[in-house]
Chains A and B, each alone.
Chain A
């Protein structure tokens, strides 16, 4: 059962455009993580958000955790070809610290 829905599944845009990726659930999470995965490599952690309403910035990437801790978004400003990759969100439930709930991912392509 897919408990974390990511959208869109695929996004191809031009360099310089802005974009937002969404991660939604009906479950409450104690924390939520975002990863980027490049072809042939393992996912790399970008950020962990733990407080409802929290906003974290990583250069041109802005991450937000929903007030109710059920959803999250990733916004990229002025996308660059180096942002290309598979973006994954994963939520930790309070009653199961060791089993993250994973989204299926958003495949992002930034064209020069």
Chain B
């Protein structure tokens, strides 16, 4: 089925460890996004990529890096995980800002 695929679904990290969250979409969308969702905080934009080859910071970029590998793939990297990065991470894509397709999320716990 067409959509946005995120891996892994669950991850536990120790403080200071690094990891990369993978995201791929097969809808030929230009724009891709990384969000985090925390209770009471809603969805907050970490980074976005308006098109292949470009990336920009969102509302909460500190502690994260991204790579738009090609039109399909947009990865999020935590270089040195901190407990404050415990969250649910969602990748999304959109052809234009009229409606996003979200992945099913990565539940990350940093201990």
Contacts and interface: CB of A to CB of B under 8 A. Distances in A.
Interface of A: 2, 30-31, 33, 35, 40-45, 48, 50, 88, 90, 92, 97-100, 102-105
A92 to B, nearest CB: 5
Given A31-B97, A41-B105, A42-B102, A102 B42 contact: yes
A3 to B, nearest CB: 11
Contacts of B45: 99-100
Contacts of A30: 97
Nearest to B44: A102
A98 B100 contact: no
Given A88-B43, A103-B42, A104-B40, A45 B58 contact: no
Given A42-B102, A98-B31, A98-B50, 18 more contacts: A2-B42, A30-B97, A40-B104, A40-B105, A42-B4, A42-B92, A42-B103, A42-B105, A43-B43, A45-B101, A50-B98, A88-B43, A97-B97, A98-B33, A98-B56, A102-B43, A102-B44, A103-B42
Interface residues of B, number: 26
Contacts of A90: 43
Nearest to A99: B45
Given A44-B102, A99-B58, A104 B97 contact: no
B107 to A, nearest CB: 8
Nearest to B99: A45
Contacts of A44: 102
Contact of A104 (B31, B42, B90, B96): B42
Contacts of A35: 100
B48 interface: yes
B97 A98 contact: yes
